[in-house]
Amino acid sequence: MKLSSKLVVKPGQKVKLADRDPDFTAGLKRKDAEERVKKNIARLDALQYLLYAEDKHALLIVLQALDAGGKDGTIRHVMSGVNPQGCRVTSFKVPSDEEADHDFLWRIHKAVPRKGEIGIFNRSHYEDVLVVRVHDLVPESVWARRYDQINRFEENLAASGTAILKFFLHISKDEQKERFQDRIDDADKHWKVSPADFKERKSWDDYMAAYEEALRRCSTEHAPWFIIPANKKWFRNLAVSQIIVETLEGLHMKFPPPSCDVSKIVLE
């Protein structure tokens, strides 16, 4: 069985994150996993080149996690071999005044990758059914409609040639505490320390409930959610890189034919 099959949320599947072990490693050893990650990174480099050459598809990668969940680390390690000219990372923070004056998907649609490119969302449109819900930033009558709006938005992207992968990096509350403490203890990581992150820990259970509903209602055939056990960073990197490679290979991409008869070209 493919690793992706063990981690995917099937459409309509009920999700209970307490039943998902964030320490799960599929019986793999760290050394073996890290070797596979290296091969996946090399393979991803070749597949990105083919994606760009064919110019028929785009790849959108959505990363969601609680604070210290490893979004930045995943991007830094898994995407280390790709050509930055064809890969763009967008981080969605609190909406600007201009963004807030439009519908919640307006700024998202502007950032989706064009054909031939890879786009990575570090946080995403799902914040509008997560933090918005947890902190009552808009009425329930507003955010409750957004699940269907998100599904229609993603379906439209998929129909236009965008492959969509959504990863929830699942860590335990104890692991988050350890990572926060590491930031406090390591002077080189003090810049990451934010009192707001510590405050958000008080809403852990509310975030779990919000994530469970988003994962259940918005994992579809054309835009699946994967719950990535992320306490072990090496397994997180393996799972994400493996699923990306499998997805790109599944597009059955081919190099386009030459625009001229290459055999007749004579260089002088």
234 pLDDT above the threshold of 70: yes
**Do 122 and 87 meet the contact criterion of CB atoms below 8 Å apart?**
no
Q: Which tokens sit at 100?
A: 């807030």
d(C-alpha 237, C-alpha 50), whole Å: 22
The reported pTM is 0.96
pLDDT of residue 1: 66
Give whole-number Cα distances, 213 to 63, 65, 127, in Å. 17, 14, 13
Q: Which tokens sit at 135?
A: 């902190």
How many CA atoms within 13 Å lie on the side-chain side of 124? 26
**Do 124 and 211 meet the contact criterion of CB atoms below 8 Å apart?**
no
Residues of the chain with pLDDT > 70, as a percent, come to 100
d(C-alpha 114, C-alpha 99), whole Å: 21
d(C-alpha 122, C-alpha 220), whole Å: 20
DSSP annotation of 14: -
Q: What average pLDDT score do residues 166-180 get?
A: 97
Sorted by sequence, the CB contacts under 8 Å of residue 215 that are 6+ apart come out as: 9, 15, 168, 225, 227
d(C-alpha 225, C-alpha 126), whole Å: 12
pLDDT of residue 226: 98
pLDDT of residue 197: 84
Give strand pairing partners of 9.
225
For CA atoms 87, 95, 102, 143, give the dihedral sign: positive
**What CATH code would you report for 3-254?**
3.40.50.300
Give whole-number Cα distances, 198 to 62, 63, 146, in Å. 24, 21, 28
Residues 26-77: pLDDT tens digits? 999 999 999 999 999 999 999 999 999 999 999 999 999 999 999 999 999 9
Q: Which helix (H) or strand (E) holds 265?
A: none
- Find where tokens 């598809």 sit: 57
Q: What is the CA radius of gyration of the chain?
A: 20
pLDDT of residue 8: 98
Angle at 175 between CA 189 and CA 65, to 5 degrees: 80
How many CA atoms within 13 Å lie on the side-chain side of 256? 12
Q: Which tokens sit at 156?
A: 């439209």
